[in-house]
Amino acid sequence: MGKGGFNFYVDKHAVERFRKLSCTQKLRWLEEVHKFLSSALPPESRRIMDALRKGENIKKISQQRDWKTS
């Protein structure tokens, strides 16, 4: 992965359970996660999440847009 972005760990059992889902079940899960995140995250967090997805550097973004990061 290039600069920016993020990493996370998923254990092999969770991957196996997800792999066994049908395509329809996977898409339903994805829609549910998207709906939850869209409704639960404050606008600032959504902007940061979108920036991370694009691989942008959060510190650089926070300086440009006056976001507070710790």
38 falls within a domain: yes
Question: With 60 as the cut, is the pLDDT of residue 1 above it?
Answer: no
Which residue, among 31, 33, 66, has the nearest Cα to 47 in the 3D structure? 66
Domain for residue 2, yes or no?
no
Evaluate whether residue 7 is within a structural domain. Answer: no
Query: How many domains does the structure of the chain reveal?
Result: 1
Condensed to tens digits (0 to 9), the pLDDT of residues 2-50 reads 566 668 899 999 999 999 999 999 999 999 998 898 889 898 888 888 8
What pLDDT sits at residue 22?
97
pLDDT of residue 48: 83
pLDDT of residue 30: 93
What pLDDT is attached to residue 10?
Answer: 92
The Cα–Cα gap between 19 and 70 comes to 35
Q: What tokens were used for 67? A: 């976001």
What pLDDT was estimated at residue 47? 84
